[in-house]
Amino acid sequence: MNTQRRHVRLAVAKRVVALAMAAAALVPVHATAATPNLEGFWWPGRAAAGARMPELTSKLPAGSGTIRDLGAPSRTGGNFGDLDVKDAARAAAMKWNPMDEETVARACKPPSIIYGMPGPFPFEIHQSDKLLVFRLEYYDQVRVVFLDGRPHPGKDYPHTTVGHSVGHWEGDTLVVDTTHLASSTMMGNGLLHSDDVHLIERFRLTPDGKSLHWTQDVADPQVLNNHGTRYMVMERRQGHIFPYECDPSYGQSIEQRGGQAPAAERK
């Protein structure tokens, strides 16, 4: 049954890509010479590599905290860096058991893009003057960013792992505004964002076009008293993404060991 669900999910993702690219084909790519070309295959770089762009850092809210990805999932001990976490969200995170994420039911459940986009996986960008499509290798997720000026939908619109994204250009910077994200992890230590989270991203190329600098600004009044931010760098390369092909049988092996990771992973 899990395999069937995965095939259905992949089929839906492929259908979304096909429809989005068909729509993109109806309009000229890069309709104006002033629009930067983000099209291509992007590989995760090092966030600390090179100077950070003031055009991006100056837009991050004062008093925001860095969302620090702490490596392999582990009990937090209350370590949320300089994020100002609300008491209820902190208490929930402290009860989190990392092995719960490795069960059959959850082993192949994709996170929201707040955690998934910065992950150590590449993505592709397909671009027109009306929309932009992200194809993520991580969990085979697909994002469509509408650039035609439409607003976000109403509250009855479904919340998903990719949400609803609209974008616009501020000079050479692409600004993407995302709502309707389903509650999910925002860092690898049990801290979840809520359904009310509001994500603002900014994407900007280096002058040589070889690197894409990118920020996240996460506002969640249910979880944070301040904003959470990330700064990422992607490298333009030749290549393409591969199917993620998540295998839920890993979760079955965890459950058979009574919720314990293999000894090699516990060291």
Q: Are 165 and 157 in contact (CB under 8 A)?
A: no
Q: What is the DSSP string of 5-53?
A: HHHHHHHHHHHHHHHHHHHHHTS-TT-STTS----EEEEE--TTSSPPP
The percentage of residues in the chain with a pLDDT greater than 70, rounded to a whole number, is: 76
pLDDT at 244 over 60: yes
pTM: 0.82
Q: How far apart are CA 3 and CA 85, in angstroms?
A: 37
Model confidence pLDDT, tens digit, residues 127-150 = 999 999 999 999 999 999 999 999
pLDDT at 48 over 80: no
One-letter amino acid of 95: K
Q: Are 201 and 217 in contact (CB under 8 A)?
A: yes
Q: How far apart are CA 56 and CA 175, in angstroms?
A: 10
The C-alpha torsion from 197 through 137 and 41 to 47, rounded to 10°, is 50
Closest to 262 measured CA to CA, from 7, 81, 253: 253
Model confidence pLDDT, tens digit, residues 95-106 = 888 777 777 777
Q: Output the six-digit token pair for 170.
A: 């501020």
What average pLDDT is seen over the chain?
83
Name the residue with higher pLDDT: 71 or 243: 243
Closest to 83 measured CA to CA, from 232, 177, 216: 216
Average pLDDT over residues 72-98: 82
Question: Tell me, what's the pLDDT at 1?
Answer: 42
Q: How far apart are CA 67 and CA 78, in angstroms?
A: 14
Question: Tell me, what's the pLDDT at 58?
Answer: 97
pLDDT at 262 over 70: no
Question: Tell me, what's the pLDDT at 187?
Answer: 87
Average pLDDT over residues 10-17: 48
Name the residue with higher pLDDT: 112 or 252: 112
Question: Tell me, what's the pLDDT at 33?
Answer: 56
Question: Tell me, what's the pLDDT at 265?
Answer: 43
* Other C-beta atoms lying within 10 Å of the C-beta of residue 224: 24
Average pLDDT over residues 157-178: 98
Question: Tell me, what's the pLDDT at 256?
Answer: 60
Question: Tell me, what's the pLDDT at 50?
Answer: 64
Angle subtended at Cα 100 by Cα 197 and Cα 71, rounded to the nearest 5 degrees: 70
Question: Tell me, what's the pLDDT at 47?
Answer: 56
Name the residue with higher pLDDT: 211 or 246: 211
Longest CA–CA separation in the chain, Å: 59
Domain ranges of the chain: 2-266
- The secondary element (H helix, E strand) that includes residue 211 is strand 211-219
pLDDT at 242 over 80: yes
Question: Tell me, what's the pLDDT at 192?
Answer: 95
